[in-house]
Structure 1
Amino acid sequence: MQPGKKIALALTLVVFAATWLSPLWPAEQALHSCLTVVGLIWLWRHDRRWPMVTRHFVLICVFICVHSIAARWLYSNFPYDRWLQALLEWSPDQTFGWQRNHTDRLIHVLYGVCFTPALRHYLSQRWPVSPRQAFTIAVMLIMCSSLIYEWLEWAIALALSPEAAESYNGQQGDIWDAHADMLLATLGAFVAWPRGAAIIRSNVTTTPQAKP
């Protein structure tokens, strides 16, 4: 593993561990952190078999860090408005008229932004697809995985009490919460396109072979 990746992974593990110091809602945070642990293991194993571009690896680490921090507050309790008022004397909730905590929205946007480049590169490593085809499939994978996540979240909520389900889901009374989350992940994926063609062409010519 390249030095840049080792540093990014080490910092991610430190952030993840720090979010578990005196957890505020241990059970609910554990539910959110299960996929984080799976993601860290997958990231390490995937990079060993299909070496990733360092910036793509770092982007995924950034997402995991932000997700871990937000999960500590179960997303809907993340005190960004209070912190910004204390630091900058500015309230985004008052400025934009927000009636809900939008931390979960940010996480879903970042999912599309941070994972699409790596997915696009992986597709170019494995199959002879054009840059446009690789990007299209990557966006579709973001959409499908977002849908599966919402199904999983719904299934977990069914097994919890109404109060615990609301605390875990962070729906905040929005009946269109799942739809908005999937849309934002998709829009985040499209952010990755502007320089996509040039990046893919350069990567295809220098793609290392998979380890046996």
Structure 2
Amino acid sequence: MDSPSPAPDRVTGTALTEQVQALADRPRPGRTPAGRLPRGHLIALAVFAAIVAVSWWHPRWPAEQALHHSLTVLALAGLLWARWRLRLSLSSFVLVLLFLTLHTVAARWIYSYVPYEQWWQALTGTVPSGGRNHFDRLVHFGYGLLLAPVLVQVWRGRGSGRGRAWLQAVQVIVSTGALYELFEWAIALSLAPDAAEAYNGQQGDPWDAQKDMALALLGAALGATAANLPQLLKSRGLRR
């Protein structure tokens, strides 16, 4: 009578399972191993790093510029985490870096003194109307316009529909914008009046915070709409 020998079969099955798992875990050609940024993301990050480095060439207000860039460091850490955890696409990654580029340019001249009027005159030969420096308004508008599409991608990836993702993206932009204004207020309380004015960039406008938040809201509404537009047009085309 032959005795059963299950052990060899069990060992063979275990070994086969391990081989299949090893093949699945092995990096494939054209795929980026886990924990590493794809080539496109690395190039975008390198370009941004070069822009930041150039912005530090002979800084006029090094202390204030460094204070502004404390937020840049936090934003980059959040971006890398989001890329790893949420698998941000290259387009979303670049949109975040574009906003940080606006912030970097503004930080170089502590927001209130960005010489965009001179740049415009050099390009067109015309002199724009003077008055308040509005570059900070552009950054707040860009915050909503550039980051809302990223948030739409995140919420759509988590199962939200177009309308819900639009609303969630706008809500995040408005709430974080309000938190930033509170942060600026807290910084102003800890600084001397002149230093607080230079950092906050109010330029004598008592409604500066409200206008900044309104522009961020407008940018978010436009950006979230633009992010949903391709799928909306595609779905309407399929219905016809």
Q: Which residue number corresponds to residue 134 of structure 1?
A: 165
Shift in Å at residue 201 of structure 1? 11
Inter-partner Cα distance in structure 2 for 1:3 and 1:54: 10
Shift in Å at residue 195 of structure 1? 4.6
Q: Which residue number corresponds to residue 16 of structure 1?
A: 52
Amino acid in the other structure paired with 2:181: E
**Which one of 128, 134, 139 corresponds to residue 102 of structure 1?**
134
Q: Which residue number corresponds to residue 56 of structure 1?
A: 92
Inter-partner Cα distance in structure 2 for 1:137 and 1:201: 21
Which stretches in structure 2 are left out of the alignment for 5+ residues? 1-36, 235-240
Q: Which residue number corresponds to residue 114 of structure 1?
A: 146
Inter-partner Cα distance in structure 2 for 1:190 and 1:90: 32
> Could you give the per-residue CA deviations for residues 47-76 of structure 1, whole angstroms, max 9, x where no partner exists?
012111211111111111121011110111
Amino acid in the other structure paired with 2:183: L
Structure with more contact order per residue of length (Cα contacts < 8 Å, sep ≥ 6):
1
Amino acid in the other structure paired with 1:39: A
Contact 1:132–1:197 (8 Å) recurs in 2: no
Aligned-residue RMSD, C-alpha: 1.7
| 1:144 has 2:180 as partner | no
Q: Which residue number corresponds to residue 218 of structure 2?
A: 187
Choose 1 or 2 for highest CA Rg.
2
Contact 2:149–2:226 (8 Å) recurs in 1: no
Q: Which residue number corresponds to residue 164 of structure 1?
A: 195
TM-score (norm 2): 0.78
Contact 2:149–2:227 (8 Å) recurs in 1: no
Q: Which residue number corresponds to residue 41 of structure 1?
A: 77
Shift in Å at residue 200 of structure 1? 8.7
Shift in Å at residue 125 of structure 1? 2.1
Q: Sequence identity of aligned pairs in percent?
A: 44
> Could you give the per-residue CA deviations for residues 136-155 of structure 1, whole angstroms, max 9, x where no partner exists?
01100000000000000010
Shift in Å at residue 164 of structure 1? 0.5
**Which one of 102, 105, 119 corresponds to residue 69 of structure 1?**
105
**Partner secondary structure for residue 194 of structure 1:** helix
Residues 81-90 or 8-17, more deviating:
81-90
TM-score (norm 1): 0.88
- C-alpha spacing 1:201/1:60, structure 2 compared with 1 (3 Å): farther
- C-alpha spacing 1:86/1:143, structure 2 compared with 1 (3 Å): same
**Partner secondary structure for residue 132 of structure 2:** coil
Inter-partner Cα distance in structure 2 for 1:200 and 1:21: 46
Inter-partner Cα distance in structure 2 for 1:196 and 1:91: 38
Which stretches in structure 1 are left out of the alignment for 5+ residues? 203-212
- C-alpha spacing 1:195/1:36, structure 2 compared with 1 (3 Å): closer
How many residues align? The count is 197
